[in-house]
């Protein structure tokens, strides 16, 4: 039970849009999309019987598969695909011959992941823009206000609110460009077969187009695109965490350089207004920073497929994505809650 889906902690940590995107239901839908497109493309290429292939694809498209039915197979096989394929074939009769043959579990799951990352990138990009817009509006409103510039936790020289907001925004713009580049190394079809040597030159372009992905050389054991994506997530939460840390510091009594509406209450001290979202941004930054270091360990992916290294990605990447998504919604909300930024006039 992680904090993102937790009955009450999700109030603080949850990101409903990303939760849908990373849900088991969405993963199954993505895996079925792979299998359907695979049958269709193999049929079109004449590698499956065209008629059976069309039937198979339709069969797959119409299948309503409850994710929990894959649980037992996943326990046995270490991944859900054998059970999924068995379910596809169960009532398929002759069309079973035109299902999955030649592909492998990793093709299915890595392609499903590519689709999830595509949706994630789109969402995060839109939120980066929204956060950037919110900061721009803040700067438009309060940018001229004085703010004591502080270095090494000490008052240094006067700056303006605009100065500080400018450098908050700077990495966000860069992150959008980084996300754009990340598309090329993540939104790729995986189609390599059991040991990465399958020849699908006649099939890949069709499939990729059907799925909205690009084709690529088999990349099954080269996890650098995925891990680089995780790194980028941590960069984003890091930049946002800096904003949160700055706001929490500004909100201190005695500093008073920001006024926020809607702070959190205390069970013991009714007078308090806690900068809950600002602190949350720091938490999320520190979490993702560390997770990036864990995900990097998955790069040592031995031979033609590592069960151990691959499964480590499953434990880490979904949480990193949801952390990033929540950091963005929380930052957008927090910036919107700022009633005044700048040193109080004295």
State the DSSP H helix or E strand holding residue 159, giving kind and residue range, or none if neither.
strand 154-160
- Contact yes or no for 131/244 (Cβ under 8 A): no
The set of residues, in sequence order, having a beta carbon less than 8 Å from that of 54 and lying 6+ positions away, is 39, 40, 43
Interface residue with its own copies, options 49, 61, 77, 337 (CB under 8 A): 77
Applying the rule CB under 8 A, the residues between 24 and 43 that interact with its own copies are: 24
| Listed ranges 54-62, 90-98, 135-143, 276-284: which one lies at the site for its own copies (CB under 8 A) | 276-284
d(CA 120, CA 232): 12
- Does 185 sit near its own copies (CB under 8 A)? yes
Count of residues touching its own copies (by CB under 8 A): 146
- What part of residues 94-113 is at the interface with its own copies (CB under 8 A)? 100, 102-105, 108
Is residue 252 close enough to count as binding its own copies by CB under 8 A?
Answer: yes
Residue from 51, 141, 272, 339 in contact with its own copies (CB under 8 A)? 272
Buried b (16+ CB within 10 A) or exposed e, 177-210: ebbeebbebbbbbbbbbeebebebeebbebbbeb
Other Cβ atoms closer than 10 A to 10: 18
Residues 250 and 119: their CA atoms lie apart, in Å, by 35
Indicate whether 234 belongs to the interface with its own copies (CB under 8 A). Answer: yes
Q: By CB under 8 A, which span of 36-44, 49-57, 129-137, 284-292 interacts with its own copies?
A: 284-292
Least distance (Å) between residue 150 CB and its own copies: 4
Under a CB-based contact definition with an 8 Å cutoff, are residues 125 and 179 in contact? yes
**282 counts as binding its own copies under rule CB under 8 A:** yes
The interaxial angle of helices 105-142 and 161-186, nearest 10 deg, is 160
Q: How far is the CB of 224 from its own copies (least distance, A)?
A: 4
When asked if residue 85 is in the footprint of its own copies (CB under 8 A), the reply is: yes
Compare residues 51 and 323 and give the one whose CB is closer to its own copies.
323
Site for its own copies contains 150 (CB under 8 A): yes
| Minimum distance of its own copies from residue 200's CB (angstroms) | 13
User: Which residues in 318-337 contact its own copies (CB under 8 A)?
Assistant: 318-319
Neighbours of 41 (CB within 10 A): 25
Largest CA distance in the chain: 83
Sign of the Cα torsion 285, 286, 289, 295 reads: negative
**Which of 51, 162 has the CB closer to its own copies?**
162
Closest contact distance (angstroms) between CB of 299 and its own copies is 3
Residue 307 in the binding site for its own copies (CB under 8 A): yes
Helix-helix angle 105-142:307-337, to 10 degrees? 20
Fill in the DSSP letter of residue 261. S
Query: Shortest distance, CB of residue 332 to its own copies, whole angstroms?
Result: 15
Asked if residue 223 binds its own copies (CB under 8 A), the reply is yes
Buried/exposed code over 237-247 (b: 16+ C-beta within 10 A; e: otherwise):
bbbbbbbbebb
Q: Which of 49, 176, 215, 256 binds its own copies (CB under 8 A)?
A: 256
**Window 42-61: residues binding its own copies (CB under 8 A):** none
Q: CA 108 to CA 53: how far, in whole Å?
A: 17
Tell me the window of 51-59, 121-129, 133-141, 229-237 that interacts with its own copies (CB under 8 A): 229-237
DSSP assignment letter at 149: E
Judged by CB under 8 A, the chain residues 156 through 175 that form the site for its own copies are 156-157, 159, 163-164, 166-167, 170-171, 174-175
Q: Please identify, among the stretches 125-133, 136-144, 151-159, 334-342, the one whose residues bind its own copies according to the rule CB under 8 A.
A: 151-159
């Amino acid at each position: 039970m992680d904090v993102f889906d937790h009955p009450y902690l999700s109030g603080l940590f949850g990101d409903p849009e990303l939760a849908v995107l990373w849900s088991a239901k969405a993963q199954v839908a993505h895996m079925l999309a792979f299998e359907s497109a695979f049958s269709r493309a193999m049929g079109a290429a004449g590698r499956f019987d065209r008629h059976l292939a069309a039937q198979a694809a339709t069969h797959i498209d119409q299948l309503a598969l409850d994710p929990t039915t894959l649980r037992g197979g996943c326990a046995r096989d270490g991944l859900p695909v054998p059970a999924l394929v068995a379910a596809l074939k169960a009532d398929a009769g002759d069309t079973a011959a035109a299902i999955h043959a030649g592909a492998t579990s990793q093709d299915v799951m890595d392609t499903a992941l590519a689709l999830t990352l595509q949706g994630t990138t789109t969402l995060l990009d839109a939120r980066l823009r929204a956060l950037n817009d919110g900061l721009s509006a803040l700067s438009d409103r309060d940018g001229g206000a004085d703010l004591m510039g502080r270095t090494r936790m000490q008052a240094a020289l006067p700056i303006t609110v605009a100065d500080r907001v400018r450098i908050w925004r700077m990495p966000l713009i860069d992150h959008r460009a980084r996300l754009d580049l990340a598309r090329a190394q993540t939104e790729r079809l995986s189609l390599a077969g059991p040991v990465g040597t399958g020849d699908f030159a006649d099939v890949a372009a069709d499939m990729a187009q059907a799925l909205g992905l690009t084709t690529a050389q088999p990349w099954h054991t080269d996890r650098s695109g995925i891990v680089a994506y995780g790194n980028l997530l941590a960069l984003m939460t890091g930049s946002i965490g800096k904003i949160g840390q700055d706001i929490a510091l500004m909100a201190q009594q005695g500093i008073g350089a920001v006024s926020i509406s809607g702070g959190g209450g205390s069970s013991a001290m009714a007078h308090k207004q806690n900068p809950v979202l600002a602190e949350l941004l720091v938490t999320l930054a520190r979490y993702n920073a560390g997770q990036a270091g864990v995900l990097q360990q998955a790069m040592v992916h031995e031979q033609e497929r590592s069960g151990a290294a691959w499964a480590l990605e499953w434990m880490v990447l979904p949480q990193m994505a949801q952390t990033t998504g929540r950091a963005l919604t929380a930052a957008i909300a927090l910036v919107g809650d700022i009633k005044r930024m700048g040193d109080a006039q004295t």
